[in-house]
Amino acid sequence: MPAQPEQPEQPVPGTEGVRVPAQDVSVIMLAYGVEEYLSDAVAAVLASEGIDVQLVLVDNGCTSDAVATLPDDPRVQVLRPAENLGFAGGVNLGALEATSTHLAFVNSDAIVAPDALRILVDEVDVPGRGIVSACVRLADRPDLVNSVGNPIHVLGLSWAGGMEEPVAAHQEPREIASATGACLVVTAELWRSLGGFPDKFFAYVEDLEVSWRVWQRGLSVHYVPAAVADHHYEFSRSPLKMYLVERNRLLFVLTGYGARLLALLALPLLAFEVAIFLIALKEGWWRQKVKGWSWILRNTGWVRQRRRLVQSTRTVADKDLVSRLTDTFDPAQFPLPAGGGIVQGVLKGYWRLVRRLV
């Protein structure tokens, strides 16, 4: 008897035209403090379309009933560490419990669009991609940008890229120096290979640090404008934040830059430390700046160990990465003091001279 042609599989009645999710993602979200927008952020993640979602919520010290009153949903898992692990440690803990092939980090005050996570997952699976970052808009002014990817300054600083610029001006996907931790996606395999965030950073600069290590692995970091999240962003500049930002900036430079790049930048880095200390003295957070120096000096063993790890696992030299760095401060977010323009001009000239020696 001749072989019968194989019959196409028939759809289950009632499911015609329904897209079956082909991808999955574990969303890591942290709760701390009052968490005014947590319920909305969780609801938006669970309403994601075209993708299977697991939500791992790390309660780092929620002071309201925002976590306790979340709806009972089998897709939600709540972790309660014994202490506040910070953003870095909290995300690392949540990622350990993730079961999906992709990880998403979404802030507890960021509201993702229904298709945002699916778009990001599809994009991160493009060969050569390492991290993909959403178009993060200001929730109270959604026509304006909160971040479309963050620049990395040669001295290790970073800021929200495109802040308060029209969203309409940022509709082209592109490579970016650093993703924003407010809404990004990475494969679970790459995350495990990277070892996650450095726990000791606690908070701030960790998204920059991991983005740089992705570039060092020969992978790229991309901005994806079609994936949208609205962020209830509030700028704060507390002494604790300045301590962590400044300490972690130095930790990033000391561990992430190669020996030649560090040597070429030694003079401007030292000069900048003096300038930052004078600003801290004027603004009243000089003790936090000194505390950051003290922490590094007391933990030089960890710094050396971390540096060995980062430098030994890279595959791309600094000379091929320096084009990702900027030598210009954003005047809207880093207003320069009197005479600052002259100093920046000198730095720009110096960098354009020595970058050829990297």
Other CB atoms within a 10 A radius of the CB of residue 23 amount to: 17
Judged against a pLDDT cut of 90, whether residue 189 lies above it is answered with yes
Q: Token pair of 81, please?
A: 């560490």
Percent of the chain with pLDDT over 70: 92
The model's pLDDT over 108-124, given as tens digits with 9 standing for 90+, comes to: 999 999 999 999 999 99
Residue 187 pLDDT class (50, 70, 90 cuts): very high
Query: Which pLDDT value is given to residue 235?
Result: 81
Query: Which pLDDT value is given to residue 341?
Result: 78
Amino acid letter at 79? L
Query: Which pLDDT value is given to residue 238?
Result: 84
Judged against a pLDDT cut of 50, whether residue 67 lies above it is answered with yes
Q: Is the pTM of this model over 0.85?
A: yes
Query: Which pLDDT value is given to residue 336?
Result: 67
Distance CA 151, CA 326 (A): 7
Cα–chain center distance at 212: 10
- Report yes or no: 89 and 202 within 8 Å, Cβ to Cβ: yes
Distance CA 103, CA 194 (A): 13
Judged against a pLDDT cut of 80, whether residue 268 lies above it is answered with yes
- 3-state SS, residue 78: strand
Q: Token pair of 173, please?
A: 């996907």
Judged against a pLDDT cut of 90, whether residue 205 lies above it is answered with yes
Distance CA 99, CA 236 (A): 34
Tokens 């993730």, residue located: 98
Judged against a pLDDT cut of 70, whether residue 251 lies above it is answered with yes
- Report yes or no: 253 and 321 within 8 Å, Cβ to Cβ: no
Report which of 356, 328, 342 is spatially closest to residue 157, judged by C-alpha positions. 328
Across 270-283, average pLDDT: 93
Strand bridging mode 183-187 / 102-106? antiparallel
Query: Which pLDDT value is given to residue 15?
Result: 47
In order of 173, 227, 231, 304, 305, the CA distances from 48 in angstroms are: 21, 12, 17, 42, 41
- Report yes or no: 88 and 198 within 8 Å, Cβ to Cβ: yes
Query: Which pLDDT value is given to residue 45?
Result: 98
Give the chain's mean pLDDT.
93
The model's pLDDT over 75-134, given as tens digits with 9 standing for 90+, comes to: 999 999 999 999 999 999 999 999 999 999 999 999 999 999 999 999 999 999 999 999
| Helix locations, the chain, DSSP H | 38-46, 86-96, 116-124, 188-194, 206-216, 239-256, 259-283, 286-298, 300-312, 340-354
Query: Which pLDDT value is given to residue 27?
Result: 98
